[in-house]
A and B are shown apart, each in its own frame.
Chain A
Amino acid sequence: MTRAIVQIGGPFAALLLLIAAFFAYEPLRKPFGGTPPPVEELTVERTVLDENGIALRVRAGGTEPVSIAQVQVDSAYWRFTQDPPGALPRLSGAWITIPYPWVEGETHKIVFITRTGLTFEHEIEVAWPTPKVDAEALGRLTLAGLFLGVLPVALGMLFYPALKSGGAVTFQFAMALTVGLLAFLLVDTLSSALEIAGRAAPGLKSALLVWIIAALSCLLLWGLTRWRGQEFTPLGLAASIAFAIGVHNLGEGLAVGSAFATGAAALGGFLLLGFTLHNVTEGVGIIAPLLERRPQLSILAGLACLAGLPAVLGLWLGAFAYTNHWAALALALGAGAILQVIIEVGLLLRRQIGQQSQTRAYPVVFGGLILGVAIMYLTGLLVEI
Chain B
Amino acid sequence: MMTVGEVDHGRNGFDPTVMLSDFDQGSSSQLPDGRTLREFSILAEDKEIEIAPGVMFPAWTFNGRVPGPTLRVTEGDRVRINFANAGSHTHTMHFHGIHAARMDGVPGAGEAAPGNSFVYEFDAFPFGCHLYHCHSVPLKRHIHKGLYGAFIIDPDPARHLEQAEIAAARLLGTPENARWQEFVMVMNGFDTNFDEENELYAVNTVAHAYANRPISIDRKRPVRIYLINVLEFDPINSLHLHANFFDYFDTGTTLTPTLKTVDTVMLCQAQRGIVEFSYAEHEAGLYMFHAHQSEFVELGWMGFFDVRDAVA
Contact = CB atoms under 8 A, between A and B. Distances in A.
Given A76-B298, A77-B208, A115 B1 contact: no
A75 interface: yes
A63 to B, nearest CB: 17
Most buried by B among A67, A69, A80: A69
B193 A118 contact: yes
Contact of B4 (A80, A111, A117): A80
Nearest to B194: A117
B1 A70 contact: no
B192 A118 contact: yes
B72 to A, nearest CB: 32
A192 interface: no
Interface in B113-135: none
Given A113-B192, A118-B192, A72 B55 contact: no
Contacts of A116: 56, 192
Contacts of A69: 5, 52-55
A79 B1 contact: yes
A119 interface: yes
B287 interface: no
Count class of interface residues, chain A: 10 to 19
Contact of B57 (A77, A79, A114, A117): A117
A328 B160 CA distance: 78
B280 to A, nearest CB: 34
B192 A117 contact: yes
A119 B193 contact: yes
A276 to B, nearest CB: 46
Contacts of B295: 75-76
A78 interface: yes
Nearest to A72: B299
Interface in B257-305: 295, 298-300
B193 A77 contact: no
Interface residues of B, number: 23
A281 B57 CA distance: 59
Contacts of B208: 77
B1 A77 contact: yes
A75 B298 contact: yes
Given A113-B199, A117-B193, A119-B192, A79 B4 contact: yes
Given A69-B53, A70-B53, A77-B207, A117 B1 contact: no
Interface string A52-85: 0000000000000001011110011111100000
Contacts of A75: 295, 298-299
Nearest to A69: B54
A67 B192 contact: no
A254 B16 CA distance: 52
Given A113-B55, A113-B199, A117-B57, A70 B193 contact: no
B2 interface: yes
B63 interface: no
A151 B240 CA distance: 64
B55 A117 contact: yes
A111 B55 CA distance: 13
Contacts of B53: 69-70
B288 to A, nearest CB: 16
Interface in B42-98: 52-57
A79 B2 contact: yes
B199 A119 contact: yes
Interface in B144-189: none
A200 B207 CA distance: 33
Given A72-B299, A75-B299, A76-B1, A115 B54 contact: yes
Contacts of A72: 199, 299
Interface in B177-225: 190, 192-193, 195, 199-200, 207-208
A198 B5 CA distance: 34
B244 interface: no
B17 to A, nearest CB: 20
A115 B55 contact: yes
Contacts of B55: 69-70, 113-115, 117
A77 B192 CA distance: 14
Interface string A325-367: 0000000000000000000000000000000000000000000
Nearest to B52: A70
Nearest to A100: B1
Contacts of A118: 192-193
B254 interface: no
A220 B307 CA distance: 76
Interface string A89-129: 00000000000000000000001011111110000000000
Contacts of A119: 192-193, 195, 199
Given A70-B4, A77-B300, A117 B54 contact: no
Given A75-B295, A75-B298, A75-B299, A67 B1 contact: no
A77 B299 contact: yes
A115 B57 CA distance: 9
A118 B194 CA distance: 9
B3 interface: yes
Given A70-B4, A113-B199, A117-B193, A77 B54 contact: no
Q: Lowest 9 CB-CB distances: which A-B pairs, in order?
A: A117-B192, A69-B54, A76-B298, A69-B55, A77-B3, A78-B1, A119-B193, A118-B193, A75-B295
Interface of B: 1-5, 52-57, 190, 192-193, 195, 199-200, 207-208, 295, 298-300
Given A69-B5, A79-B4, 10 more contacts: A69-B52, A69-B54, A69-B55, A70-B3, A75-B295, A114-B55, A117-B55, A117-B193, A118-B192, A119-B195
27 contacts: A67-B54, A69-B54, A69-B55, A70-B52, A70-B53, A75-B295, A75-B299, A76-B295, A76-B298, A77-B3, A77-B52, A77-B300, A78-B1, A78-B2, A79-B1, A79-B2, A80-B4, A111-B199, A113-B55, A113-B192, A115-B56, A117-B57, A117-B190, A117-B193, A118-B192, A119-B195, A119-B199
